[in-house]
Each structure stands twice: as structure tokens, then as C-alpha cells.
Chain A
Amino acid sequence: MTLSPRTLVDKIWDRHVVEDMGDGWALLHIDRHLLHDLSGPGSLIDIKRRELGVGQPRQVLAIADHLVSTEPHRMAESSSVGSAMWAVLKEETDTAGIEVAGAEDPGQGIVHVAGPEQGFVLPGLTIICGDSHTCTNGALGALAFGVGSSQSAQALVTRVLLQQRPRQMRVTVTGTFGTATSAKDLALHLISTLGASAGVGYAIEYAGPVVTAMEIEQRLTLCNLTVELGAKFGLIAPDEKTLAWLEGRRLAPTGADWLEACAAWQSLHSEPGASFDREEQVDATGVDPMVTWGTSPEHAVPITGTVPLPSDAANSDQARSWSEAQDYMGVAGGKSLIGTPIDWVFIGSCANSRLSDLRAASEIVRGQRVPDEVTAWVVPGSEQVRREAEKEGLDRVFVEAGFAWRRSGCSLCVAANGDRVPSGARCVSTSNRNFVGRQGPGARTHLASPVTAAAAAIAGRLVDPRQI
């Protein structure tokens, strides 16, 4: 029997089918499981209520991120909303024998930053979390996806989930990045050109010379925004860079296991001639620094572009949604965004809070000063990122420029822990969602890269980072 050439997704999928349920549905084995303090407690309580137990607790890693305080001298109790959820997460994970990290632990961080960083995420694994940005972890060649708290509970007990084999899309990125552009700009470019629902039902594999040339942290950013394109899986085939990045991390395999893993990962890529349901090509050379003007990540334009006119929308529903988004954001169709005064800047989130993001932003702000009327925050993606950045003196660069240097967590990306952008205030944010009220009721969010956000912080308005 000759097998037709398989894709990366096919290979991981086929390896994990425990039971074929017909029509493309399967009980898929879930190798690893991340829990956080917002969705994790509900899953664990669900299991307790049903008088069931966690099947493979050592394949689970729990970290408090959504609800932790990001204040400099925080403790577990510092977040009033988070302390009760943390108490449940801590008690239930201790009972189940699951490793857990909270606000006072050195391994704390946003799950999609700390998980890869600690070597918990590996190529070829299936990984879930009660969090849509679990797709971030696909950057290491894992099939990683977000689920609700009920499916999270199911997988904790049974290690399988009923899943449909996704359609497959490959996005091939050619060319080279221009000045001040990065994976974030590429992702926003893709979402704005293909649309926020382009990926519904798909797994998206990113490939091509630009992806190969990207450092791992940039790949994590690219995969992170896959869910904003509508797909719950985004992934990149592991290569030598992936292996070098993973080797020696705390939970990565060691010794003979490491060698065996590396051997297995050699074949973890889409074969020549493998077929995809959809193929997209994008030339990174033509991608400018991007910024969003509205309330969906697809509402993005080059920083030098103009806000679209509702009269140019494809249909009346889109015209109405553009016009409502523009009212909410206080921007006008047909106008440039450059020069728009801003009130807040947030550098953080599982999209852009890793060491390389902080380094890039720090280069812009070094020796500069944030105007008094702008509140600017840096929230490192993990405590490890924070410690490493401090070792390099990045904290001093930011603080001297007038930024607040905070502790790790989701913070202003989801505004669940009490950190909020005030109503009506305009925030340039390196996070991944500009939804209505996402950073606080009435808050106005412009998504951008760390470099564009840093440039805006210094200028006090939206600016083209290439002009700095």
C-alpha cells in the first residue's frame, strides 16, 4: 500500500486517534494539558462534582495568569478577584497531584509563554488548554488548541476528546521583512486581507522562507494570532532552530529520551506533494507596520493607511459593523490614524511579551521619555522573562523612559484581574484582541507590534515606527 504524501497535521492527527468515530470524527488522545486560573477551577470542580479523578496528573501543568495581580510587590492575595479562584486552583491541583504555579512562584507566567519556555510544549504532541490562544504553542510543531471548561474536564479525566479532523490551509510566506515589521504585522496583515473567519474549520500551517528564518519567539507570535483568523490550530514544522531552543529546558526530555525525540521530530513536516484544502501565499516584503482601527482584528490597516469608509464595505451588515466600530473607537472613515493622540500603551500578553519583544521595544524607548499624559505599562509574559530582562537592564530602560515595569500575567489583554484601561481612553496594545470592552468597558484598543506601541508611547500619538 502506498500512502499519499501527508501533511504535518495529518501526521500528528493520525498518531493520536484512539478511536475512529466515523465521518472524520475521532477520539483524539490529548498528551498534555495546561490549566489557568480563569477556566481551570471550573474544570476541576466539575470533575470533583462528578466524583471523578484526573487520569494523568503529571501530564498537566497549572499556572495562574488571568487573575493574578501584576503589581510589583504582589502576593497571591493581591488580586481580589483572583484570590478565590487561586485558592480553588491550588487546592484542587494539590489534591490531584498536578504541578501548579501561582503569583509568588518563580515559574509563574502566561500559560502560552511559560509552557513553551519550561519545555512543557514539545513538537508532535497534542496539547489543550481552556484558552483560545493555545494555538500559540503550535509554533513548536505541536497540535495545540483551545477548548471550553467542559472539554477541559473531559480530557483531564479521560485524556481523549471528540474532535473532527480539520480542513487544512497552508500559508506560505516569502520575501523579507522590512524595517520595523515583524510577525505581529504579518499576522495582522493576514487577518485584514483574509478576514477574521477565513480560518474557521481549518488548521493552518505556516511555511516558507520567512517562517523558516523567524526566531522561535516570532513564530509563537504568528501562531498566537491564528485564532483571530478563525482557526483553532496554527502550527509550524519543527526544525533545527526548534530543537536548539528546546534543549535543556526544565521539562524537555533528556538523555536517551531527548535523542529519541529528536529522531522522531525529523519526519515531522508536510511532505512534498501533500495536499491542502486551501493555499495562501503572502510576500512579507510588502507588509508594513500594521495597526487596528476597529473592534475586530480584521479591522487592521498599514500605519500609513486610512480607516475605510463604511460606504466601501462589501455589504450592508459589514457597513453597519464598520460604522459602529468607528463610533466606538472614535475614528473616522477616510482619515489617517497617524497623529491620533493616545492615553495608554500596553506591552504584554501571550502575543508579544517575550524577551525579544521587550528588547525590540526597549531599543525605541531608550533615552526617550513618555509624555506625562500617557500611561505606559510593560507586563512581561512570564517571571522568567522578567528576570532575564532585568538581568539585561531592560527594566531600567523602560522605567527611565516613564513606563511602569510590572509582574507577569495576562493583565490588560483581558482585563480580568482588575487592570483596566479607563472608559473612552485610547490604548495601543501589543495584545491580540481589540474587541469592544476587551481592555475594560468603553476602552479603545489599537493592536500593534511592540515596536509600533513603543514608538506611540514616546510620541504620545500613533506614529509610523519607521520615522523614529
Chain B
Amino acid sequence: MVTAPFTVVRSRAVPLLIPNVDTDVIIRVERMMSSDPDHLAKWAFESIRYDSSGAPREDFVLNDPEYVGSEILLAGDNFGCGSSREPAVWAVMGLGFRCVIAPSFGDIFAANCLTNGVLPVSLPADAAEQLAAGARRFEEITVDLPSQEIRLESRCWTFDIGRVHKLMLVDALDEMALAIRHLKTVERWEIRDHNERPWAWTQGRQAGMDLGEHSP
């Protein structure tokens, strides 16, 4: 659920340029039984963030104190691929990130970001590399949603975002609320569809009926 408007974010960015970071790596399945952001943030990226004794790995960028307070994550190609688990986005939010920039994202992860007011920005790999070079020098990156620009020093890249999602992020609108506004249209569509595709509706179903067997 979206809680705060997204306009301009300026901060250091954490360079985590590993390709195909899947949502199992972002948050393990057994950590998902609680949706508490602090709990999820603690266990975010655990398999690459902590060593086998549970101590933070010094060579892992998220453990670098220079990046405390960063609101931008720079990720590798296909970030958030795999499982549709939304707690992966909550874990990223729990770490304080409001924007993730990557060459590409897992489609479901990107949708989950937007649902939660996190901005996923797809930029070509060469732009991501230039940003990463700046991020490693601890330079601040500006993410400007109203003008759809990413800025680093004098360089600037534009990015795409759907009109509706931009509105929702800037105004902190909830996707559920948006859909509810169209409920009358949905109901009209469904009444028509009942007539046109009676087979698509399961009015013949009875809960708990005998299953029987169907041998293919």
C-alpha cells in the first residue's frame, strides 16, 4: 500500500550490480511469515549479506556504513526475478529504498514496487554503469519523477513510466482505491459477459461436492 508521495529523491545510491538477483535472495521464504518492515529489513539479502556464522560480510555493499540512509538501489539485470513474493519489495522498503534502478526487472517484482509506491526505473546497462561509478564515489543521484529524469552531476537520463502509475506515485494514490472507482463499469462488463460467455462463469459449482476421478 502506498503511504507517501514520490516526487524527487536525492541520495547516495547503493551499487548492487549482480545479475538475476531473485526474490528468494531478497527475502527467504521462512522470513515472510511476518510483514513487519524491521523484521524483513533485518533478513533482506541474508544469504549474501551475512556469513555462515550470521555476521555481516564486510565486503558486501549493504553493510558499508558509507551508504547508510541511501534511498536509491542500483541493481543488476533482471533484478527481482523469480517468486512473486511481495515481501521482497517490503524488505527493500524496510532497508529505506524508495527507488530501484536496473537495466531490467522481474515483471512481477516491478508491479509489486509500483503497488507499494517504490519507483522501479529501467535504464540501459551503460547508464547503469555510469551511475554505479558515481555511486561508488559516494556521489548523490537525483531521481526526479515529475520530469522523469535521473541526474548525476551534469549528466541526465530520462526514463519511461506509465501515466497512471506516475500519477499514483506522485499523489500517493492506492491502486485498490483506483480500481474501486471503476467498480460500476466492472459490474456492467460482467453482466454483459455473463450473457456472452456463460461458460466462463461457474454458477454450476457447489462447494464441497464429490470430486470423483477423471482419468485422462
Cβ B199 vs Cβ A250 within 8 A: no
A97 neighbours in B (Cβ, 8 Å): 207
A29 at the interface (CB under 8 A from B): yes
B83 at the interface (CB under 8 A from A): yes
Total interface residues on B, using CB and 8 Å?
70
B202 neighbours in A (Cβ, 8 Å): 58-59, 120, 251
Grouping DSSP codes into helix (H, G, I), strand (E, B) and loop, the B interface class, with mixed when no group exceeds half, is loop
A435 at the interface (CB under 8 A from B): yes
Among A179-187, A258-266, A301-309, A458-466, which stretch is in contact with chain B? A258-266
B183 neighbours in A (Cβ, 8 Å): 158
B84 contact from A39, A162, A438, Cβ within 8 A: A39
Cβ B176 vs Cβ A38 within 8 A: no
- Using A150-B175, A438-B24 as known contacts, say yes or no to A317 and B19 having CB atoms under 8 A apart: yes
Cβ A436 vs Cβ B48 within 8 A: yes
B89 neighbours in A (Cβ, 8 Å): 148
Cβ B24 vs Cβ A437 within 8 A: yes
Cβ A260 vs Cβ B199 within 8 A: yes
Cβ B179 vs Cβ A160 within 8 A: yes
B1 at the interface (CB under 8 A from A): yes
Smallest CB separation, B139 vs chain A (Å): 21
Cβ B1 vs Cβ A355 within 8 A: no
Cβ B107 vs Cβ A201 within 8 A: yes
**8 Å CB contacts to A: which residues of B52-67?**
52
Cβ A157 vs Cβ B176 within 8 A: yes
A107 at the interface (CB under 8 A from B): yes
- Interface readout for A111-122 with B: 1 if CB under 8 Å, 0 if not? 000000110101
Residue of B nearest to A27 (CB): B182
**8 Å CB contacts to B: which residues of A234-266?**
245, 248-251, 253-254, 257-258, 260-261, 264
Smallest CB separation, A271 vs chain B (Å): 21
Residue of B nearest to A316 (CB): B17
A-B contacts counted at CB < 8 A amount to 219
- Interface readout for A55-78 with B: 1 if CB under 8 Å, 0 if not? 010110000000000000000000
Cβ A264 vs Cβ B77 within 8 A: no
B25 neighbours in A (Cβ, 8 Å): 435-437
A91 at the interface (CB under 8 A from B): no
Total interface residues on A, using CB and 8 Å?
92
B20 neighbours in A (Cβ, 8 Å): 196-197, 296, 298, 321
Cβ B81 vs Cβ A162 within 8 A: no
- Using A50-B176, A230-B78 as known contacts, say yes or no to A160 and B200 having CB atoms under 8 A apart: no
- Using A253-B199, A384-B211, A435-B22 as known contacts, say yes or no to A132 and B82 having CB atoms under 8 A apart: yes
B149 at the interface (CB under 8 A from A): no
Cβ A25 vs Cβ B164 within 8 A: yes
Smallest CB separation, B215 vs chain A (Å): 7
Complex CA–CA separation, A119 to B47 (angstroms): 40
Complex CA–CA separation, A149 to B208 (angstroms): 26
Cβ A154 vs Cβ B162 within 8 A: no
B70 at the interface (CB under 8 A from A): no
Cβ B214 vs Cβ A122 within 8 A: no
Complex CA–CA separation, A313 to B26 (angstroms): 24
B200 contact from A125, A217, A415, Cβ within 8 A: A125
Smallest CB separation, B168 vs chain A (Å): 9
Closest 7 CB pairs of A and B: A148-B86, A197-B78, A261-B199, A148-B112, A253-B199, A158-B179, A146-B84
Given contacts A27-B185, A321-B18, 11 further A-B contacts (CB under 8 A): A21-B164, A39-B86, A118-B211, A148-B85, A148-B108, A148-B111, A197-B19, A200-B107, A230-B106, A250-B214, A317-B18
Q: List 5 A-B contacts (CB under 8 A).
A: A18-B189, A19-B182, A164-B162, A201-B107, A436-B24
